[in-house]
Amino acid sequence: MRHATGDLTPGTGGYDAELRRHNEVLRRAAGVRFRDHVLDIGCGAGQTTREAARTARAGSVLGIDVSAPALERARGLARAEGLRNVAFEQADAQVHRFPPERFDLAISRFGTMFFDDPAAAFANVGRALRPAGRLVMMVWRAPELNAWDVTIRRCLEAAAGKAAGASGGPDPFSLADPAAVREILRGAGFVDVAFTDVHEPVYYGPDAAAALDWVRGFTCTSETLGRLDPAAAARAVENLRGALAEHLTDEGVRFDSRAWIVTAHRAGTV
């Protein structure tokens, strides 16, 4: 689910906290090496970018995102950590003119599902990779496998009816189908496309109140609430409050989730 403010929420909540378990899975799958030059697609406030930079100490990492505020925070965090082999650019991976064959590895933590033209985007990323360069990305599996999406949409639909599903916004599940993704990547010049299931919880905050604040920032939630009359919006918020309270555990508000780690190589040999 895309959040309106990306990684910018401080404290115990926020995007990085939500995806802490997923981040560890992606880090292991990426296997960044000491001399790698890495491209981080949809980097947000740069947690994955900075982690890659700490490993690729003799290489470099470029994080790109379309959000200027997120990138400003990413630069500040990188400066505070003393990282000198990392840079951030405001760019759309679909059309940005990357240096050809510059990177050994392209990574993304839920940053590739929102391309208007995924075929063009992955072809562009492929051209930026060296021959046999690797792509490692994490994307959501089907919505019915993600309890957070099922729960949020049911809460909204109970108060809003069909209005809850009327958004024409970005689809966080656009890369959920392995067959479709395999066809896109092969068409973009990638080979050895593989999928690994990721079954980890998402974290929405230490209590139901914090979780509600976080969920209200999701694109589908905010857009739906904005279309409703005040009474219906209030019912939807109460529905969400109750559902989030039901998912409160000793470790905070958590929901079951499923994702894919998708790996591939650019065709060619080193």
pLDDT in tens, the chain (270 residues): 444 333 333 333 478 889 999 999 999 999 999 999 999 999 999 999 999 999 999 999 999 999 999 999 999 999 999 999 999 999 999 999 999 999 999 999 999 999 999 999 999 999 999 999 999 999 999 999 999 999 999 999 988 765 555 455 678 999 999 999 999 999 999 999 999 999 999 999 999 999 999 999 998 899 889 989 999 999 999 999 999 999 999 999 999 999 999 999 999 764
Q: Cα torsion for 242, 247, 248, 254, to the nearest 10°?
A: -130
The domain containing residue 118 runs over which residues?
15-142+170-203+253-266
Nearest one of 93, 262, 92, 266 to 181, comparing CA atoms:
262
Domain assignment present for 225? no
CB atoms within 10 A of CB 255: 21
Edge-to-edge strands of the sheet including 37-41? 86-90, 60-65, 37-41, 103-109, 129-140, 258-266, 190-199
Q: Which two tokens stand for residue 18?
A: 């939500």
Phi, psi (deg, nearest 5) at residue 35: -105, 10
Assign residue 76 the CATH number of its domain. Answer: 3.40.50.150
Nearest to 3 by CA among 246, 216, 263: 216
Residue 261's contacts (CB-CB under 8 Å, 6 or more residues apart) are 25, 26, 29, 136, 137, 138, 195, 196, 198
Three-class SS state of 13: coil
Is residue 134 a part of any domain in this protein? yes
Rounded to the nearest 5 degrees, what angle is found at the Cα of 241, between the Cα atoms of 239 and 246? 95
Residue 79, in any domain of the structure:
yes
Confirm whether 242 is domain-assigned.
no
Domain contains 214: no
Query: What does the pLDDT look like over 15-70, one tens digit per residue?
Result: 888 999 999 999 999 999 999 999 999 999 999 999 999 999 999 999 999 999 99
Kindly report the pTM of this predicted structure: 0.91
- Smallest CA-to-CA distance from 107 within 29, 223, 169 is with 29
Q: Is residue 209 part of a domain?
A: no
Residues in a beta bridge with 218: 3
H or E segment and range at residue 108: strand 103-109
- Give domain status of residue 109, yes or no: yes
| 49 is a domain residue | yes
Q: What stretch of H or E contains 192?
A: strand 190-199
209 with 141: CB under 8 angstroms?
Answer: no
Strand partners, 260: 139, 197
DSSP conformation class of 59: S
Domain count, the chain: 1
